[in-house]
Chains A and B, each alone.
Chain A
Amino acid sequence: MKRRVVITGLGAVTPLGNSISETWEGICRGKSGIAGITKFDCTLFETRIAGELKGFDPTRYVNRKEVRRLDDFIIYALAASEMALADAGLTIGAAEAERTGVIIGSAIGGLATMEKEKEAISLGGPRKMSPFAIPSVLANLAAGHVSIRSGAKGPINCSVTACASGTCSIGDAGRIIAGGHADCMIAGGADAAVTPMCVAGFNAMRAISKRNDEPEKASRPFDRDRDGFVIGEGSGVVILESLPHAMERGARIYGEIAGYGNTSDAFHMAAPPDGHEGAARCMQAAIGDAGMTAAGIDYINAHGTATQMNDAFETEAIKTVFGQHARTLAVSSTKSMTGHLLGAAGAVEAIFCLKAIGEGVLPPTINLDYPDPDCDLDYVPHRARKRAIRTAMSNTFGFGGVNAVLIFKKFEE
């Protein structure tokens, strides 16, 4: 018998704000978090825009020494985790330590550190390499530092499944609790990849928008004039608990994990197969895991990257899975506002699903000015919509053919 798993704490730093409240307010107002790149000199780059954090003060979360020795993706994860733990009112004492675990995913890990250290070697030779380089580059070190900081001594892992990392982290963490291997999990994703290699690399793949003169309009999922995604950075973290654990301590419950699906395309390193067959199977797997029917889903937070291929293929997959119901359910892409937070995307989008359920507000898809004829669902264009919903599905798909889908539902005893 699987144990029920609920979400009791949320934390995030995103291009829309350095807290959950600021970020959610931006979402409700349909604000764009995209602007010119400030993290490096991008003069020579085809793409010069990104979703960077704004006014984030790392010394609120780590000391000056750690600011120097930790890659930003680790600091973002520490910030989001601290917020989520405080939000949940969870203190991890001796009794809970071994029953509390951490899974923080990251698509790219400490890429900025890797680039900086490679330059140090190139200019000064191998002796110029920092002793902190390796532990800053490794993707699992976000989870490692969150564990060290919080005292969680249970299961620890790191999903490295590209843009599905955040979703896989929460999905796997939910299964660890459902299977009885832990009572609480700190789970989410973090990435800080607004770096020369990342921008130039995605440019080389023709994957990211070059709408440099209109940053706020650059991320336009499902729009006819979309020209790729916009790289974002940040972290989202949630606190998962077994229902009895949450009830016993009288925790506030944001919602319940109803189902999780995870499939592989077994097709191509970056492109989806026709009809996004793997994504469709993944949505079906999550619906099956939830013991629901497709008609029970009220809202989908789409992967919706704003690449030509993703948006059309994802729309087709949604139609395959939902049939007539695809015409009545609401679908939106919050990446239109946050940009694509890569390994953090699934985590912040899970948070948006929980907020949508809790607040009765559907996030909009902004910049949907000229709907693509191939993308003909209700994408909640331009403005957030007040609507009470009971269930929300979060889609994420990553390079390597990874598909991961979570379903959240309103908590009812």
Chain B
Amino acid sequence: MTLEEKVIAVIIEQLDVTREECSIEASFIDDLGADSLDLVELIMEMEEIFNVQIADNELEKIRTIGNVLDYLKSKGVVWNE
């Protein structure tokens, strides 16, 4: 499983959405039905799985699935499972 696949798997589980809805451009709030609390929980789950700490000011920039991937890559996160 690649990093992208893992991130999308977590999003499917956390937000109860389908794989088809999870395009790279998909916005959590506008496309995936998340509210602000869902986003906080999702980020907590990402922090746990990928062993990173995402600061609140960085949180504001994370709006789409692509944003999450870019952020994780920028922190040097790799995933092969």
Select one of B16, B37, B38, B44 contacting A64, CB under 8 A.
Answer: B16
B57 to chain A, nearest CB (A): 16
* A129 and chain B: residue at smallest CB distance: B44
List A contacts of B38 (CB < 8 A).
65
A370 interface residue per 8 A CB criterion: no
A106 to chain B, nearest CB (A): 21
Q: Once the chains bind, are B16 and A65 in contact (CB under 8 Å)?
A: yes
A211 to chain B, nearest CB (A): 41
Which residue among B15, B37, B40 has the maximum number of chain A CB atoms within 10 Å of its CB? Answer: B37
Segment 127-185 of A: residues with Cβ below 8 Å from B: 127-128, 130-132, 135
Segment 100-137 of A: residues with Cβ below 8 Å from B: 127-128, 130-132, 135
Select one of B15, B40, B44 contacting A65, CB under 8 A.
Answer: B15
Segment 59-78 of A: residues with Cβ below 8 Å from B: 63-65, 69
* A128 and chain B: residue at smallest CB distance: B44
List B contacts of A131 (CB < 8 A).
37, 40-41, 44
* A132 and chain B: residue at smallest CB distance: B37
Mask, B16-56, CB within 8 Å of A = 1, is: 10000000000000000000011011001000000000000
List A contacts of B16 (CB < 8 A).
63-65
A121 to chain B, nearest CB (A): 13
Mask, B49-68, CB within 8 Å of A = 1, is: 00000000000000000000
A233 to chain B, nearest CB (A): 25
A132-B44 contact, Cβ under 8 Å, with A63-B16, A65-B16: no
B45 to chain A, nearest CB (A): 10
Mask, A31-73, CB within 8 Å of B = 1, is: 0000000000000000000000000000000011100010000
Q: How far is the CA of A242 from the CA of B16 in the complex (A)?
A: 40
* A67 and chain B: residue at smallest CB distance: B16
Residues of B within 8 A of A (CB): 14-16, 37-38, 40-41, 44
Interface pairs (19), CB distance under 8 Å: A63-B16, A64-B16, A65-B14, A65-B15, A65-B16, A65-B38, A69-B37, A69-B41, A127-B44, A128-B44, A130-B41, A130-B44, A131-B37, A131-B40, A131-B41, A131-B44, A132-B37, A132-B41, A135-B37
7 more CB-based (< 8 A) A-B contacts, given A65-B15, A130-B44 = A69-B37, A69-B41, A128-B44, A131-B37, A131-B44, A132-B37, A132-B41
